Amino acid sequence: MKKLALLWMLVLLGMTGVMAQPKSNAGQDSCRRWRTQVDPGEKRISIEIATLSDNEIEEGIKCLLTLQGQRARARIYGDTRANYNKADGYKPPHNPASIEIAALYYISYLFTNNWEHAASVVLVNDNEEIDEKTNTRAIVDRAFKSYREWFQKVNEIGLKKARELKLNPLEGSGVRWL
């Protein structure tokens, strides 16, 4: 009888672990589709932006803001006016966009619904033209800080109102898209 009780306890403990596991990965899975938009190491999951609800866009922004520190080369970089993915022969700029920079660019795309909201996936100091001081650590850190503060405002007033007001995620940061 003791063996049977012990067996049932082990079965129940095993089942509890299996049932609890999907819940712990649920947040990661919901962010995966957003990560794939900017991370070339992941197979891209197609997202039809025009069909997304405001809640889904806000979820995407929240997920993409977690990518700060991801410094590998991004899926998107350079000039964005010509096409979404660069041809094999394309030579990226001196400091190509990292996943974290592409995440910020993609956030602005989600907010504006305009892929060409900037000419390039390049962050510069507000008062500078493109040179060696693009996409630097200090610039990226200021940009993420600004995007987080902007997102707090978006959450307070709602996405629709933020769009009406044309809130700029980089306003006051000293950073701009090239």
- What pLDDT, in 10s, does the model give residues 152-162? 999 999 999 99
Burial (0-12, 13-18, 19+ Cβ within 10 Å), 149: middle
pLDDT tens digits, one per residue of 23-55: 334 445 789 999 999 999 999 999 999 999 999
For residue 7, pLDDT over 80 is answered with no
Based on C-alpha coordinates, what's the Rg of the chain? 21
Q: Can you spell out the DSSP letters for 61-73?
A: HHHHGGGTT--SB
Tell me what pLDDT residue 129 has. Answer: 61
d(C-alpha 74, C-alpha 21), whole Å? 30
Helix (H) or strand (E) holding 55: helix 54-64
Tell me what pLDDT residue 92 has. Answer: 52
Say which DSSP state 50 is in: G
Q: Which residue has the higher pLDDT, 90 or 104?
A: 104
Query: Mean pLDDT, the chain, as a whole number?
Result: 82
d(C-alpha 38, C-alpha 77), whole Å? 9
Q: How far apart are the first and last CA of the chain?
A: 74
For residue 74, pLDDT over 80 is answered with yes
* pLDDT bucket at 18, cuts 50 / 70 / 90: very low
d(C-alpha 139, C-alpha 55), whole Å? 29
Residue percentage of the chain with pLDDT more than 90:
63
Nearest to 118 by CA among 133, 135, 137: 135
* Distinct helix (H) and strand (E) counts, the chain: 5, 2
